[in-house]
Amino acid sequence: MQNGPLRIEDFVAQTDGVNLSDLPPAAQERLNDKLADLTGGSDGSGISQRDTDGILVSKDLDGREGFETIADALAGQNLQNAGDQTGSPPDSDAAILVEPGTYDDGPLQIETTGLTLLSREGPGETTVESRVTVSADDVTVAGLSVSPPDPGDAQGADEAIRVDSSADDVTITDNVVEDFARNTGTEFTGVDGINIFGGDGTDAVENVTVRGNIIRQLQNTGNEETDYPGGAAGISLQGNVRNPTVENNTIEQIGEEVTNFGFGIVVRGTGNNDQTPTEVTIENNDIDSVLSDPDSATVGVGIGIGLKPGGASDVTFAGNDISNTEFLFEDKTATVDLGSFVEDNTVDRGALVEDGDFEGVPGGAPERNVISDSIQFALNFATTGSTVEVVPGTYDDEKTFNGVNGLQIGSQDAGTDPESAPLADISIVGINGRPNIPGWVQILDPGVTFEGFEVTDEVNGYGLAAFEPDVTVRDVTISDVTNGLFVPSAADVLIENCTVENYSFYGAVVSGRGSFGGATPTISNTIFNGASGGGAVGVGVVETEATLQGNEITGNEFEGEDGAGVGMFSGAAATVQENVIANNDDGIFVAGGASASDVAATSNDIVDNRVGVANETATAVNANGNWWGDQGGPSGTNEEPNQGPVTADSWSTQSGPDWNTNGGSTSAGATGFSIASTETTRTAESWGGPMPPAEPDRAE
Amino acid sequence: MNRRQVLATMGALGGGGAVVTGTGAFTSVEANRDVSVQVADDTDALLRMAAAGEGNDEYVTTNGGELGINLTSSNPTDAGGQGVNANATTVIADLFEIQNQGTQEIDVEVTPLSFIDTGSGNTLVVLVVPQTGFPSVTLGVGDTETYSLLVDSFSGGGNLQISDTITVTGEAI
């Protein structure tokens, strides 16, 4: 008989067909609260005549019939307060109810079919300091805190809760497995919180449910003189296991950064047979902080599967929340669709590598699909020409260069040694939103596509710098930088649909200086918002040709009059078409050393600048067909007329995108006369603004 | 042996509302889920079953001589309540009582004392909570045991139903 308030466990123990695992923990908690109100009694003595109809285990029997240890209850020995009876093993379907206390009974082996091992007041009050092994069908283990001692090299002592011997229909629910550490021993062995072990190749462990448990603080350092003797796993499904369900568990702090490798949940084989788990359901688990020793060659993995070929299709993942692990997911069969995985589960961030090259990497699978916590780390396994998709998140611990976080795509030597460009033709693409890199990005291999990101810091003065041909930067926002983009004069370089804002100097520098030149990079449909950060020049072009098309370049000023929307400097020429160039000091500035005859600035909106076009050269710049903000043509709504030789014989009588050349030329045609070029005779003011900065150093 | 029938159902979900727990009357606001608990006729004169008369009698019905406990829309309260709230624990304290009207001391046991229905992540739980003895109680001649009802719907409820039978056993010691 017991006193005290009733708990939901009492009702479960009394009712056939009802399991504690049927009740969500939150519902259990509030039911227990209400039961305490109803049955606690004003003096706390609670309900009387309370016989839970189970086998009682208590550290304080106080005259009641029962056992003082769980081991005695399982063996049916040393029964207390029962007269002449000394006890007998529990019958099938019996319930052992464990009262609060710490039980250090040695390994517990459950071999009774249908047995329920249940704590009376939950894992917060009931600790088992030994391993619990279930070897019989229909067993339930619920509500215990399990913290076995350091297993060292002891065989079979390295799992806190284990289901084996082909046991079927076992439920492990609402337990806490914690503070399980292996800090001695020299053998290669693992530490598992809950292990479902199908060691018999002919008789599977079937229909096991692992639900609502908390597994935390597992580590495996082994003896400190031994390097990396093994790993740690929160929940491990191994070998011949059929139809297991792992759901609603919380798994955290696995590996604790001192362990060779770790898994939150792992589905894998055994050395006993060639079977791997089938019909596996892994749903609604919360996995956080699975981290290996940073000095080890292996990592922490949120969910990992290592199955025989074809086995991955037998695993269902849904509703899991995974965060702060080195690999959020690892598929050694390289068959799981990672895009579907991130749609069906929640990850705090992740770079998706499919068919990654893991040749020579520990783990035995040369090709894997992984979701990496780090883009930079993922690139180690990406293959030439592949696509790495990246989900939204903040990628703030990528590569550090000059003390600043950033992403290095490719090799420093790519330009001189193509063999050193393993990331050639790779695409890195943000999906399902825009991942944020609070740092710099450098593209050092050719053929790279970088798409769909936010870049919000810089190194060596630039937010994003490319150095090789065939690079595409698309749909990227670059902000909070001195200079936004470094665009090399290299073949087939394209910047499109980007936004550059909060820059204090140049939005972009297109450069043919140094080792670059001879190509015509293109910047299209990109916004350069100089006003947002005090930018001086939207796009600066130097020693190269460039195509600027469809861009919106606004608000670039420097000390009141020496900024420019587009600045063309020594050796520069450009086709500037279909842009909106507004509210800058100079809309377009052509320096004395530029190749003005090769500048075509046509079909743009050039409005509301201090000067529309300022040309320092003696050669006229072709500026026909632009909308100047007024049907009267130059200088329209710009504060001052164009400066230097600027040809604007015709102009558009409306703004883009429907530019025309009806202004000027139309009236000439009507009269049958040709009018002279409207070259301005006003000398361009000397450029007092900043010159384009040099290209940044490559990240090392 | 006296057979009693317990039926609990949960209908469609609705908006939130207030829940009054603990002793006293229960008032439901805008609840449109139903929990029905019915107790069938008891022909054994040794045991009397009746509403406890502690303010929750509205949930206890008599139909054809059978005592019933009905929390459904078919038995709305005077204030209009027609069921329990979703995602809440509803306590109906001191709902009904069992009295030993026999001539000797007996053990009274009600089984089962809990009912659970689950589906699509929702659960509906009904607990029959005795006041003084668990799971059984010894009643002297004329003694009474009072039972409360505890109903929990989690998380949003859903079209859950519990339809089952309980058995009340009165056995002379």
Region of poorest pLDDT, from A163-167, A498-502, A618-622, B8-12: B8-12
Of B118, B123, B134, the CB nearest to A47: B134
Closest by CA position to A372, among listed A428, A316, A296: A428
Asked if A391 contacts A323 with a C-beta cutoff of 8 angstroms, the reply is no
Residues of chain B with Cβ-Cβ distance to A30 below 8 Å are 89, 152
> Strand B136-139 relative to strand B161-172: parallel, antiparallel, unpaired?
unpaired
Say if the Cβ atoms of A49 and B118 lie within 8 Å.
no
Asked if A272 contacts A201 with a C-beta cutoff of 8 angstroms, the reply is yes
Under DSSP, the state recorded for A383 is -
Averaged pLDDT for residues A179-206: 93
Q: Does B165 touch chain A (CB under 8 A)?
A: no
pLDDT higher than 90, residue A667 = no
- CA separation for the pair A646, A618 (Å, rounded): 10
Of A22, A33, A34, the CB nearest to B116: A22
Closest by CA position to A98, among listed A35, A129, A143: A143
Averaged pLDDT for residues A652-667: 84
Residues of chain A with Cβ-Cβ distance to B22 below 8 Å are 37
Half-sphere exposure of B162 (CA within 13 A, CB side): 32
Calculate Rg over the CA atoms of chain A. 35
Mean pLDDT comparison of A71-80, A392-401, A410-419, highest-scoring range: A71-80
pLDDT at B24: 20
Q: Does B23 touch chain A (CB under 8 A)?
A: no
- CA separation for the pair A654, A588 (Å, rounded): 19
Kindly identify which residue of chain B lies nearest to residue A18, measuring between CA atoms. Answer: B116
pLDDT higher than 90, residue A433 = yes
> What are the residues facing B9 on neighbouring strands?
B161
pLDDT at B1: 26
Q: Does B133 touch chain A (CB under 8 A)?
A: yes
Say if the Cβ atoms of A38 and B133 lie within 8 Å.
no
Beta strands of A115-207 (E only): which ranges? 116-119, 126-128, 132-134, 140-142, 145-146, 159-163, 171-173, 176-182, 191-198, 205-206
pLDDT at B158: 61
Mutate to test the interface with B, among A21, A38, A247 (most CBs of B within 10 A): A38
pLDDT at A500: 98
Q: How far is CA A301 from the centre of its chain?
A: 13
Averaged pLDDT for residues A188-202: 93
Region of poorest pLDDT, from A19-33, A64-78, A237-251, B52-66: B52-66
Say if the Cβ atoms of B91 and A37 lie within 8 Å.
yes
Say if the Cβ atoms of B134 and A26 lie within 8 Å.
no
Residues of chain B with Cβ-Cβ distance to A27 below 8 Å are 89, 123, 125, 152, 154
Kindly identify which residue of chain B lies nearest to residue A23, measuring between CA atoms. Answer: B123
Closest by CA position to A195, among listed A225, A151, A229, A227: A151
Residues of chain A with Cβ-Cβ distance to B129 below 8 Å are 6, 35, 38-39
Of B89, B118, B138, the CB nearest to A30: B89
Structure token digits, residue B20:
């009054």
Full DSSP string of A312-331: GGGEEEES-EEEEESEEEEE
pLDDT higher than 60, residue A668 = no
pTM of the entire predicted model: 0.79
Question: A28 phi and psi, to 5 degrees?
Answer: -60, -45
Q: Does B138 touch chain A (CB under 8 A)?
A: yes
- Report the run of H or E that residue B129 belongs to, with start and end: strand B122-130
Full DSSP string of B40-93: -----TTEEEEE--SS-GGGEEEETTEEEEEESTTS--TT---SPPTTEEEEEE
Average pLDDT for chain A: 90
Of A14, A33, A50, the CB nearest to B112: A14
pLDDT higher than 80, residue A553 = yes
Q: Tally Cβ neighbours within 10 Å of residue B102.
A: 17
Q: Tally Cβ neighbours within 10 Å of residue A138.
A: 18
Averaged pLDDT for residues A433-450: 96
Q: Supply angle C-alpha A320, A321, A325, rounded to 5.
A: 115
Averaged pLDDT for residues A674-699: 70
| pLDDT, one tens digit for every residue, chain B (173 residues) | 222 233 322 221 111 222 222 222 222 222 222 334 433 334 344 677 778 777 777 877 766 556 666 776 777 778 877 767 778 888 888 888 888 877 788 888 877 788 887 777 788 888 989 988 888 888 888 899 998 988 888 876 566 666 666 667 777 77
Could you tell me how many CB contacts below 8 A there are between chain A and chain B? 89
SS (HEC) of B78-93: CCCCCCCCCCEEEEEE
User: Please, what is the end-to-end C-alpha distance for chain B in angstroms?
Assistant: 14
Say if the Cβ atoms of A31 and B93 lie within 8 Å.
no
Residue with tokens 């290095």: A408
Cis before residue A149, ω within 30 degrees of 0?
A: no
Say if the Cβ atoms of A15 and B114 lie within 8 Å.
yes
Asked if B99 contacts B47 with a C-beta cutoff of 8 angstroms, the reply is yes
Averaged pLDDT for residues A289-314: 88
pLDDT at A45: 57
Asked if A699 contacts A629 with a C-beta cutoff of 8 angstroms, the reply is no
Residues of chain A with Cβ-Cβ distance to B130 below 8 Å are 47
pLDDT higher than 50, residue A1 = no
Say if the Cβ atoms of A48 and B114 lie within 8 Å.
no
Distance from CA of A329 to the nearest CA of B (A): 25
Averaged pLDDT for residues A401-427: 81
Asked if A544 contacts A565 with a C-beta cutoff of 8 angstroms, the reply is no
Q: Supply angle C-alpha A474, A480, A484, rounded to 5.
A: 45
Mutate to test the interface with B, among A7, A34, A247 (most CBs of B within 10 A): A34
> What are the residues facing A46 on neighbouring strands?
A4
Distance from CA of B45 to the nearest CA of A (A): 25
Closest by CA position to A407, among listed A358, A448, A354, A365: A448
Of B116, B134, B148, the CB nearest to A23: B116
Question: A640 phi and psi, to 5 degrees?
Answer: -125, 160
Chain A residues interacting with chain B (CB cutoff of 8 angstroms): 6, 8, 10-12, 14-16, 18, 22-24, 26-27, 30-31, 33-35, 37-39, 47-53
Q: Tally Cβ neighbours within 10 Å of residue A474.
A: 19
Residues of chain B with Cβ-Cβ distance to A97 below 8 Å are none
Residues of chain A with Cβ-Cβ distance to B146 below 8 Å are none
pLDDT at B22: 20
> What are the residues facing B122 on neighbouring strands?
B119
- CA separation for the pair A538, A670 (Å, rounded): 39
Q: Supply angle C-alpha A354, A356, A358, rounded to 5.
A: 150
Percentage of chain A beyond pLDDT 70 is 92
- CA separation for the pair B98, B60 (Å, rounded): 13
Residue with tokens 């021993």: A185
SS3 assignment, position A9: helix
Judged on CB neighbours under 10 Å (0-12, 13-18, 19+), A387 is middle
> What are the residues facing A40 on neighbouring strands?
none
Q: Tally Cβ neighbours within 10 Å of residue A25.
A: 17
Of B135, B137, B150, the CB nearest to A14: B135
Distance from CA of B173 to the nearest CA of A (A): 15
Of B22, B127, B155, the CB nearest to A11: B127
- CA separation for the pair B37, A137 (Å, rounded): 35
Enter the ipTM: 0.77
CA A239, A244, A245, A249 dihedral sign is: negative
Closest by CA position to A510, among listed A530, A481, A529, A490: A490
Kindly identify which residue of chain A lies nearest to residue B153, measuring between CA atoms. Answer: A27
pLDDT at B34: 31
Say if the Cβ atoms of A15 and B152 lie within 8 Å.
no
Mutate to test the interface with A, among B115, B116, B136, B165 (most CBs of A within 10 A): B116
pLDDT at A591: 95
pLDDT at A672: 34
Beta strands of A174-256 (E only): which ranges? 176-182, 191-198, 205-206, 209-211, 214-220, 231-239, 241-242, 245-247, 250-254
Region of poorest pLDDT, from A9-13, A19-23, A232-236, A520-524: A19-23
pLDDT higher than 90, residue A413 = no
**Residues A468-486: tens digit of each pLDDT:** 999 999 999 999 999 999 9
Of B22, B129, B138, the CB nearest to A39: B129
Banded model confidence at residue A397, pLDDT cuts 50, 70, 90: confident
Structure token digits, residue A55:
């086998």
Residues of chain A with Cβ-Cβ distance to B123 below 8 Å are 22-24, 27
Chain B segment 56-95 residues within 8 A of A by beta carbon are 89, 91, 93
